[in-house]
Amino acid sequence: MTFSAQQIAMMIGGSVEGDAQAAVDSFGKIEEATAGQLAFLANPKYEDYLYSTGASVIIINDKLVLRQPVAASLIRVPDAYNAFAILLTKYQQLQLQQMEGRQEPSYVDETATVGKNVFIGAFAYIGRNVRIEDGVKIYPQVFIGDEVTVGAGTVLHPGVRVYNQCSIGAGCTVHGGTVIGADGFGFAPQADGSYQKVPQIGNVVVEDNVEIGANTTIDRATIGSTIIRTGAKIDNLVQIAHNVEVGANTVIAAQTGISGSTKIGRNVLIGGQAGIVGHIRIGDGARINAQSGVSKSLDNGKSVTGSPAYDYSAALRSQALSRKLPEMDQKIKALEKQLEELRRLSMANGF
C-alpha cells in the first residue's frame, strides 16, 4: 500500500512541510530508512539523523526547530511517538481487513455462530455454541473451546488456547502460545500427605481492548471468574492465577506472577519478574518495581521495590546509605580510636 505525505497527515492530524505528494510504501528507522519509506523522530538523541536519512517522509514534533534544511517531507504533530503509534495501528487494521474467509483444514462446530468479515486460519478448532463476532481474526492452530465468546475485532494469534466457557471482549489482541482458562492451581492437602485436586469450575473474563503477550497464562477461577478489565496490557510470559482481578488500564511486564484471589486496581504499573502473593489488594495507581516481592496489600498510589517490597523512596535512601557504608565504617573506627585516647588521657589525669 502506498500513501502520500498528505494522506498520512490527514490520518494523524498533522501538517506537511515540503512535498505533500511524496509517496511511501513502508516504514524504516530514521537512521536506516531509504527512499520510499516513512520514519519518525521523537527522541532528541536521534536528531542528527534527520538531516542525513534517506526517508521520504518523517513525522516530527511540531515544536522541533530545524538546525538545517531537510530533504524529506515533514509531518509536524504534537507528539511524534504517539502519532506514529496511531499510524501503525491504522496500517495494521488495513492489513487485517484484508484477511477474511476460512482456510482448510479447520473445524467449526455446526452450533457455533460466526459473524461477518471473520478470518479462520488452517487447523483452527472452534467448539460447540461458540460465538465469534464480526471482524474477528483467528490465526492457524487456535483452539477455542465450547461456549466461548470472542468479541468484535479481536485478534487471536497462532497457537492461542481458549478453554471452555471463557469470554474475550471486543478489540483485544492475544499473542501466540497464550492459554486462557486452564485450571487454577488448587489442591487440598490430605492426612496421608497426598493432595486432592479442587475442581476449577469458573471461567476467565477478558474485557474490551486488552492486549495479552505471547505464552502468558490466565487461569480459570475455582468459582466465579478471573477478570482482566478493559484496557489492561499484559506482557509475554506472565502468570495470572485463579480468581485474580486485574483493573482497567493496568500494565504488567514480563515474567510477573500473581497468586490466586489477588485484586489489582486501575492504572497499576507492575515491573518485570515481580511476584505478588495471593489474597491481597493492590490499590489504584500503585507502582511495583521490577523483581519486587509483594507480600501485603498496597494503598492507592503506593510505590514499592525490593523483596520483600517496601516503600520506594525509603528503599532509594537505604541504597544511598549502603553505598556509604565503607566510608562510615572508617569514620566509626576513627571515632573509636579518639574515644579510646580520650579515655586513656582521662585515666592518666585521675578523672
Q: What is the pLDDT of residues 169-187, one digit of tens each?
A: 999 999 999 999 999 999 9
Split at pLDDT 50, 70, 90, the class of 315 is: confident
Amino acid in the structure at residue 5: A
Instruction: State the pLDDT at residue 86.
Output: 94
Amino acid in the structure at residue 185: F
Distance CA 154, CA 136 (A): 5
Q: Could you please state the CATH topology (level 3) that the domain comprising 3-97 is classified under.
A: 3.40.1390
Query: Does residue 110 register a pLDDT over 70?
Result: yes
199 prior amide bond cis, ω within 30: no
Instruction: State the pLDDT at residue 319.
Output: 77
Active site residues per annotation: 242
Domain ranges of the chain: 3-97, 102-313, 314-348
Phi, psi values for residue 345, rounded to 5°: -65, -40
The CA angle 105-109-110, to the nearest 5 degrees, is: 115
User: What share of the chain has pLDDT > 90, as a percent?
Assistant: 83
Distance CA 81, CA 184 (A): 39
Among candidate residues 98, 101, 94, 150, the one with its CA nearest the CA of residue 121: 101
44 prior amide bond cis, ω within 30: no
When the candidates are 2.160.10.10, 3.40.50.620, 3.10.20.590, 3.40.50.970, the CATH number that belongs to 102-313 is 2.160.10.10
Query: Does residue 310 register a pLDDT over 70?
Result: no
325 exposed, middle or buried (CB, 10 Å; 0-12, 13-18, 19+)?
A: exposed
- Grid coordinates given for 248: 482497567
Report yes or no on whether pTM surpasses 0.75. Answer: yes
Q: Do domains 3-97 and 102-313 have the same CATH topology?
A: no
Quote the mean pLDDT of the chain.
Answer: 94
Cβ-based neighbours of 237, under 8 Å, separated by 6 or more? 213, 214, 215, 216, 254, 255
pLDDT digits (tens, 9 = 90+) for 75-99: 999 999 999 999 998 888 888 888 8
DSSP state letter for 222: S
pLDDT digits (tens, 9 = 90+) for 30-77: 999 999 999 999 999 999 999 999 999 999 999 999 999 999 999 999
Q: Tell me the sheet residues that pair with 155.
A: 137, 173
The DSSP element (H or E) to which 12 belongs, if any, is helix 5-12
Instruction: State the pLDDT at residue 329.
Output: 85
Distance CA 306, CA 293 (A): 6
